[in-house]
Structure formats: structure tokens, C-alpha cells
Chains A and B, each alone.
Chain A
């Protein structure tokens, strides 16, 4: 059974005919070619498939797109604007806050949602906001540094 899905993805109204049992993660990657969102555990444990749904971080591996009709989805592809990296992407790149990079898209989006609620988060608040994103390379310190740097730059 296929269904016409009409989510808004990275600011564009999208129409896509996809099987109803496919998760949002699969539709983003396989039907829309947006492969920045990564497949990890697929069980809601690792956070690498994080996207923003109406601005809030959610796991695309546990969402059916039929439940996202008419809602705003942001993936990592939508973070850079007009060829300019998002401040978080910039600080992650400068500080080397990515080793293999597989967890990075999910972390960037979770951090973006954090900075929108709390532009000057404490180190502890960053930790708590990123608690759902695992980094198997264990490069957490630089990740926390990079979020702090982006926050400091935005605050200026």
C-alpha cells in the first residue's frame, strides 16, 4: 500500500508516493535522496537519525511519515543557508568535533534545537540535550566545545 505524503522538508513542500510502512528515515534517504540523515541502531537508542519535527528533535527511525503530514521537517541538508554553513557546522569543522562523522548530523540538529531554546547553555545543559546522541568514536569533549563555541559566537 502506497500513500501520497506531503511533508514540508527543509522549507520545500514535498510530494512523494511511498509505502506506508516505511519510516521517515527510509523515505528521506531512499525516496527523497536526503542521505545526510543516517541509519544507526533503528531502535531509538543511538540518535544518529535525529531530525527536527516542527523544530524539536525526534528520531526518524521511529516515525511514520503519514504522521508528519503538513509538518515541518528539517534535516542536516537544510542547515546551511545560501551556501553558508550554520554556525554549529562551522564550529564543528573548525574544532574537529567529528571523527568518523556518522553521529554528526543528528548531533548538529539536536544542538540546533537546544540553542534555539537556550542560546547560552551551560556545559551540563549541553550534555543533557545531547544525551540521546551516541558517538562511538567517543569524541564528546570536542563536540561539547563546538556547541559552546557556536553559542558564544551567536551571542555576540
Chain B
């Protein structure tokens, strides 16, 4: 903490390093001081249970999250999202805290220094304008975390620790829809842990769209969480990833579900409404109108999965390790 305060904007924290080091090599980040968190024991570990809620230390690796028995059994959407991040090597290094704070991404930003220089730099680093939408007053780089939409849908809270003490905020309050200032926390505050509420009947899933089934950032993520009494939905959350600079909750679509039965007709209507706040731009992999149209498709499939209705063929892009295990179990 004192190092972060002393060096101010020259300092950055590093946990797994899987986001920070590539960005440093491309000179997207240019810290003069790195504060390594790996030695801070208090930030590690996964504790608790589905009955009383769980606490994920920020340094818990994505592998640990994806394989933790309690999470696999009771928060399977989170295990799946963590499992679908990147590659085995990077999941062994990358942390849940890091994935929640993942830098926003853009085709004009995640490039080498020489590339960015040749095109005149963008406002996120070294430039003045947004090269995706030159009239835009703000950066439109894309939130690309797989776990954040799921944690949002599960009602997670985040404990932040800073020089002036600590505070606990709902996970949605950690984000802002701005590609540069995408985290609503002070730079010297760190995410210390993430708290999951008790499961209490909440069932969730996560669907990820990406180009390659082996590994890729999401170009669309759909997290859906439902709490039902019998056949009737009591509570619904639909959170879209990779469609804005922060995860985006499809509030209007959620309202359609309240007090209703999950029929195929309702699912189609909800999916259509859920796709409205999905406004991808032409700054990630795959064309943006396809990503927009797939929002409807993936919301419908996620809801069908939770309703126990057939979802069609599982896309190869969902072939993570957990899913591979499912295949073997069948």
C-alpha cells in the first residue's frame, strides 16, 4: 500500500501477470514500479460454502476457481466461465481478481507499439481520438472478462482495500462504461476478495462466443441466473459481456421473466428484448452485426439450458475442460 501511494501513477500491481506483462511488452502499460501481490498470503484461497456464501481471494487462480468442488457443484456457471478463459497455462497463472479487473480490449489498442504508432495512436494510449468511432467523446474498448458477467449475475460483492481502509461494494459498482476509466475504484485501491452470496436456489449458466474453441477472448458472453419457485421465476438476472466497456445487465428482459413460467415462447421474447442493450462496435474479432444477432441466440440458449429444454448442439467454442468432462460423463 505504501509503495502504491509513494509512486502514484508510476506504480501498478501485478498478480498473475497474464494481462499486465503482455500489455507492458506492447507499451500499453508503462509502469516504473511493479508491486507484486503474489507474496501476500491474505489475498489467496477460496473459503466458505454454498450454504453460507463463499469468499474468493483475489489471488485464487482461474484453475483453482474452475476446479473447486464447491464451486463446480453449486456455482457451476462461475466454474465454467473461469474454465473458458484462455489456456491451461494462463489459467494456472491468471487470477480471479485479475480477470475481474481485466483491461478493456480493442482492435486498435491491443497491438504492438509500432502498429499503434503507424496508425497514429488512439485515445486509450498515447493518442487523442477513438479510432473506432472518431466522433466519440470516450473510449469504447470492450470489457472482455468471462467471470465478471457471471459474478454480476450471482450478486457478488467486492472487497476493496486501500490506504484509507477498506470497503465492500456490489460488483456492478466496480465498473464504469468507459474504456479507459473502466474501474470505479481509486488507482491505489486493490481488489482483495470477491464474496458470493449463499446459493439459495439460484441457478446460473454462462454462454461464451469466440472464434476458436481452443482459446480466445469472448466476443460475446451471456450470464443468466434464475431463482424459481416451482415453475415460476422469482428472480432473474441477464448480464451481457463483451458488448460494452463494462458488463451490461439486460434489465428490461429480466422484468419480463418475473412471476412467469419459462415457456419456449417467453424465452424467445425475453431473448429479443435482452439483445436490445447489446450494442457491439466494430472493434473486436468477428463482425459486429453477427455479435449483436448472436446475443439473442445465446440468451435464448442460456435460458433454455436453465429451463431444461434442448439447446441444440453445443458450440465447439464452449468446449472447455468442464464441458469435456460432461461429455465423458454422458
- Interface pair B93/A128, CB less than 8 Å apart: no
Contact of A110 among B17, B88, B214 (CB under 8 A): B88
Q: Which residue of A lies closest to B92 (CB)?
A: A56
| Inter-subunit contact A63/B88 (CB<8 Å) | no
Contacts of B327 in A (CB 8 A): 124
What is the chain A residue whose CB lies nearest that of B39?
Answer: A67
Task: Choose one: A53, A62, A122, A124; the contact of B17 (CB below 8 Å).
Answer: A62
Chain A nearest CB from B317 CB (Å) reads 12
Q: Are A43 and B26 in contact (CB under 8 A)?
A: yes
Query: B17 and A128: CB pair below 8 A?
Result: no
A131-B26 in contact given A44-B90, A57-B88, A125-B324 (Cβ < 8 Å): no
Contact A63 B93 (CB under 8 A): yes
> A128 and B319: CB pair below 8 A?
yes
Interface secondary structure of A, over-half rule: mixed
A61 CA to B21 CA in the complex, in Å? 9
Binding site secondary structure of chain B: helix
Query: Closest residue of chain A to B20, judged by CB?
Result: A62
Whether the pair B93, A62 counts as a contact (CB closer than 8 A) is yes
Most B Cβ at <10 Å: residue of A110, A127, A128: A128
Contacts of B92 in A (CB 8 A): 53, 56-58
Q: Which of A35-74 contact B (CB under 8 A)?
A: 42-44, 47, 50, 53, 56-59, 61-64, 66-67
C-alpha spacing A43/B110, complex, angstroms: 11
State whether the Cβ of A87 lies closer than 8 Å to any Cβ in chain B.
no
A129 within 8 A of B: yes
CA gap between A64 and B89 in the complex, in Å: 15
Is B328 an interface position by the 8 A CB rule?
A: yes
Residue A7 interfacial (CB < 8 Å): no
Give chain B interface residues in 1-23, CB to chain A under 8 Å.
17-18, 21-22
Give bound CA distance, A125 to B90, whole Å.
Answer: 17
Known interface pairs A42-B25, A43-B22, A124-B324. Does A129 touch B36 (Cβ–Cβ under 8 Å)?
no
* Inter-chain pairs besides A57-B89, A64-B17, 20 sampled, C-beta below 8 Å: A43-B22, A43-B26, A44-B90, A47-B87, A56-B63, A56-B92, A58-B89, A58-B93, A59-B93, A62-B18, A63-B17, A110-B88, A122-B328, A124-B324, A127-B324, A128-B88, A128-B324, A131-B214, A132-B86, A132-B90
Give 27 CB contacts A-B under 8 Å. A44-B90, A47-B89, A50-B89, A56-B92, A57-B89, A58-B89, A58-B93, A59-B18, A59-B90, A61-B21, A62-B18, A62-B21, A62-B22, A63-B93, A67-B17, A67-B38, A122-B328, A124-B319, A124-B324, A125-B324, A125-B328, A127-B214, A127-B319, A128-B320, A128-B321, A131-B214, A132-B214
A interface residues, Cβ below 8 angstroms from B: 23, 42-44, 47, 50, 53, 56-59, 61-64, 66-67, 110, 122, 124-125, 127-129, 131-133
